[in-house]
Amino acid sequence: MNNQQEQIKILCVDDERNVLRALERIFLDDEYEIVLANSGDEGLKVMEESGPFQVVVSDYRMPVMNGVEFLRAVYARWPETVRIVLSGYADASAIVAAINEGHIYRFIPKPWNDEELRVTINNCLERYFLQKKNRELLDELGIANMALEEKVLLRTEELELRNRALEFSQNILGNLPVGVVGIDTNNMIAYCNSVATTILKTACSDIFGGDVNSCCDASLGVFVEQVRRDKNVAAEIVLAGTPHKIIGRSMMFNDGDSVVLVFPED
């Protein structure tokens, strides 16, 4: 029940000394710290100075501040403390009417049964530690969510930066005064800037997504295979009857052997 070895403290409040002694005797065999107070004001002072308390047991009929008023004040300042009110049967209807004011967990009539009161206190402690564990889990979840949100924000910023860098790179490649063609490991034309598009449109029936071996002049496919074999090749090839200087370089991309072709300015 108390996994954290938290000292269990129970506050008993009653203006009758013999009632307080009777409550204290019930828990003599338990490792609880039983603290007694003679009035609501004294009970609040004790909680302020000696808290926290897991459970508070208060009589209903007390001068100046009755039990419901006292427990209402306890709830306002220490809402995690479980609250019990004791009273005679004559006060039962008044207690039931006011029970929500103090957010009282249990009403126990006088005279009480010692064993039933012990069981009730044990239930209160189970409730206290369960709620405490739930609060801790919610706090941990909140911290984890904050950390996740920060990671998502950082990742989003990183992706936005990469997208801007990619867009900038594509704009640079697109506006270069030389032709640039990217061919993936399956011989598909994956990239072609504007200058290269002008060159290849007369030599290839399908540029973007086309296969250099089936959609373009055979000389281009032969040159690509030479680049894959020799890694770095400069030559002059004829495309659609027009000679072009061309430089090819093999490169690894996504674990595949891709090829970059550059058509320098004439």
**Residue 206: per-residue pLDDT:** 83
Report the C-alpha gap between 123 and 247 in whole angstroms: 82
**CATH number for region 175-263:** 3.30.450.20
Secondary structure of residue 10 in the 3-state scheme: strand
- For the chain, what is the radius of gyration of the CA atoms? 41
Q: What mean pLDDT is predicted for residues 201-218?
A: 86
**pLDDT band for position 214 (cuts 50, 70, 90):** confident
Nearest CA to 46 out of 82, 78, 80, 18 is that of 78
Q: What percent of the chain has pLDDT over 90?
A: 38
Q: What percent of the chain has pLDDT over 70?
A: 93
**Residue 97: per-residue pLDDT:** 61
Q: Is 4 a residue whose pLDDT tops 60?
A: no
Domain 9-139 falls in which CATH fold? Rossmann fold (3.40.50)
Distances from the Cα of 180 to the Cα of 45, 102, 163, 174, 218, angstroms: 82, 78, 21, 8, 19
Q: Is 215 a residue whose pLDDT tops 80?
A: yes
Nearest CA to 105 out of 82, 125, 73, 139 is that of 82
Q: Taking a C-beta distance cutoff of 8 angstroms, is the pair 190, 183 a contact?
A: yes
**Residue 132: per-residue pLDDT:** 87
Per-residue tokens: 219: 């000389």
**Residue 2: per-residue pLDDT:** 54
Nearest CA to 124 out of 20, 76, 54, 210 is that of 54
At 147-204, the pLDDT tens digits run: 888 899 888 888 888 888 888 888 888 888 899 999 999 999 989 998 999 989 888 8
**pLDDT band for position 41 (cuts 50, 70, 90):** very high
**Residue 168: per-residue pLDDT:** 84
At 77-106, the pLDDT tens digits run: 999 999 998 887 656 666 666 676 667 888
Q: What mean pLDDT is predicted for residues 62-80?
A: 90
**Residue 95: per-residue pLDDT:** 67
C-beta neighbour count of 195 within 10 angstroms: 20
**pLDDT band for position 230 (cuts 50, 70, 90):** very high
**Residue 252: per-residue pLDDT:** 85
- Report CA torsion sign: 49, 50, 52, 55: negative
Q: What is the mean pLDDT of the chain?
A: 87
Q: Is 253 a residue whose pLDDT tops 90?
A: no
Hey, where are the domains in the chain? Answer: 9-139, 175-263
Q: Taking a C-beta distance cutoff of 8 angstroms, is the pair 194, 184 a contact?
A: no
